[in-house]
Copies of this chain bind each other. A is one copy, B any other.
Amino acid sequence: MSDISIRYQTGEPQNLEKRFAARAAEMLPSEIRSLFAVASRPEIVSLAGGMPNLSALPMEMMAEVIKELILTNGSEALQYGSGQGHPKLREQICDVMALEGIRANPDDVVITTGSQQALDLISRIFIDPGDVVLVEAPSYVGALGTFRQYEASVVHVEMDNDGLVPDSLRAAIKSVRATGRKIKFLYLIPNYQNPTGVCLPADRRTEILSICRAEEIFVVEDNPYGLLGFDKPSPNAMRAEDSENVIYLGSFSKTIAPGLRVGWALVPQSLKDKLVISSESSILCPSNFTQLTISSYLADQPWRDQIASFCELYKVRRDAMLESLEQHFPAEAKWTKPGGGFYVWVNLPAEIDTKALMPKAIVAKVAYVPGSAFYADGLGSWSMRLSYCHPTPERIREGVKALGGVIKQEMSRRGTALT
């Protein structure tokens, strides 16, 4: 083990910071970064992370798939590949997307290092400093960070238990344009949204698409959880209804495994070349090895059954969380009832500052993500995201119980409890 205190300095210290580009000022650690170090201690029940639960993935089968891949096609799997992504996997991705009503051409698919990279590239292509990006309130912390690095101005649009509210979208567009700023796109997660877990119904999808088309704002539809519906399938993807004004982002991180880092963007034809060129400039090409691992898996293994196993596993955990929230959280708390995905969003009385509460939760051996992490504008202070994806149902119950106790104590300390 190297001693990380030794730095072996061989030159004069330089002030590199004064040479940074203007955008570097926006490269700030997210609120949840330091949290994860604490939350990953084994004695803490982490309701913080969004790591998929790989216990349902048959490792022996994965090992065989990959061994076969190297033995039969190693010289391709280990070589540089196409900047756009492997043609065979792009075809298979079209089959996966067909499950959500999308009819697509493999030539319009660009494979990326996780869908995060697609978000990065789309930001790079579209965002000039000061441009507005519309997002749900709250929204995915990783997207907020990327938009910030491209110096976008992020404007949140109200959600309710059915997701983004169309009238609020109309109002936001009007109000942003009244200030003379340019709106580049609407970013949203229609299925089992991160962080709220809510699902946008079909009629709202149609209405939002119609608003965006009329206003010449394109839609970035981020859909990592779409196949993880527990009770019924999710509505068709927005991309199914509009191939021209929607950029669709998909990922195998939640349906196969995130360690492979394979995601994709399905884009209107006119965007494809720019996206490929900017991806080549960013990473040269995505990994043939991880792409072909997924391609072999999709070709030879019962992947739909495997997704069904994941759904079963997450459903049990969702039920454990909702039940124990009923049991242990105060009556004043409200939370979402997700039909799929990984997350529950809890609103507490406004006096409770969930960020300030974290140290007490850690003492009680439970971790969550404070709501403010999911807002670019400082809101969310009385909310929290709870993930049920990773711990066992028993640990979830234990964690929710402990957290309920911490919250009740804080409420009684502040005199906000009803009783």
Residues of A within 8 A of B (CB): 1-2, 4, 6-17, 19-24, 27-29, 51-52, 54-55, 57, 59-60, 62-64, 66-67, 70-71, 74-81, 91, 94, 103-108, 113-114, 116-117, 120, 124-128, 131, 142, 145-146, 149-150, 184, 209, 213, 216, 218, 240-246, 253, 257-261, 268-271, 273-274, 277-278, 280-290, 293
B288 in contact with A243 (CB, 8 Å): no
> What's the nearest-Cβ distance from chain B to residue A105, in Å?
5
- Distance in angstroms between the alpha carbons of A131 and B19 in the assembled complex: 10
By a CB distance below 8 angstroms, the chain B residues around A116 are 281-284
Closest to A79 in B: B259
By a CB distance below 8 angstroms, the chain B residues around A142 are 280-281, 284
By a CB distance below 8 angstroms, the chain B residues around A242 are 10-11
> What's the nearest-Cβ distance from chain B to residue A12, in Å?
6
- Distance in angstroms between the alpha carbons of A2 and B95 in the assembled complex: 10
- Distance in angstroms between the alpha carbons of A299 and B232 in the assembled complex: 47
Q: Name A20's contact: one of B51, B240, B274 (CB within 8 Å).
A: B274
Closest to A121 in B: B282
Number of copies: 2
Q: Given A67-B63, A67-B64, A260 and B78 touching (CB < 8 A)?
A: yes
Closest to A94 in B: B2
By a CB distance below 8 angstroms, the chain B residues around A67 are 63-64, 66-67
By a CB distance below 8 angstroms, the chain B residues around A289 are 257, 259-261, 290, 293
B66 in contact with A70 (CB, 8 Å): yes
Counting chain B CB atoms within 10 Å of each CB, the highest count among A28, A52, A70, A184 belongs to A70
Mind listing 7 A-B residue pairs with CB under 8 Å?
A2-B94, A7-B105, A10-B103, A10-B242, A24-B125, A62-B78, A142-B284
B117 in contact with A245 (CB, 8 Å): no
B24 in contact with A274 (CB, 8 Å): yes
B259 in contact with A21 (CB, 8 Å): no
Given contact pairs A28-B277, A59-B70, A113-B113, a sample of 19 additional A-B residue pairs in the complex whose CB atoms are under 8 Å apart: A6-B105, A8-B103, A10-B242, A12-B244, A13-B244, A14-B213, A24-B125, A29-B273, A51-B80, A55-B75, A59-B75, A62-B74, A67-B67, A113-B261, A113-B283, A113-B287, A116-B281, A117-B282, A146-B282
By a CB distance below 8 angstroms, the chain B residues around A108 are 7
- Distance in angstroms between the alpha carbons of A363 and B49 in the assembled complex: 58
A128 in contact with B21 (CB, 8 Å): yes
B70 in contact with A114 (CB, 8 Å): no
B259 in contact with A77 (CB, 8 Å): yes
- Distance in angstroms between the alpha carbons of A15 and B67 in the assembled complex: 46
Closest to A112 in B: B283
By a CB distance below 8 angstroms, the chain B residues around A124 are 21, 23-24, 149
A117 in contact with B63 (CB, 8 Å): no
By a CB distance below 8 angstroms, the chain B residues around A287 are 113, 259-261, 287, 290
- Distance in angstroms between the alpha carbons of A270 and B91 in the assembled complex: 44
- Distance in angstroms between the alpha carbons of A145 and B381 in the assembled complex: 43
By a CB distance below 8 angstroms, the chain B residues around A269 are 7
By a CB distance below 8 angstroms, the chain B residues around A261 are 113, 283-287, 289
Q: Name A278's contact: one of B27, B66, B284 (CB within 8 Å).
A: B27
B213 in contact with A11 (CB, 8 Å): yes
Closest to A268 in B: B16
B54 in contact with A62 (CB, 8 Å): no
By a CB distance below 8 angstroms, the chain B residues around A15 are 270
- Distance in angstroms between the alpha carbons of A150 and B381 in the assembled complex: 36
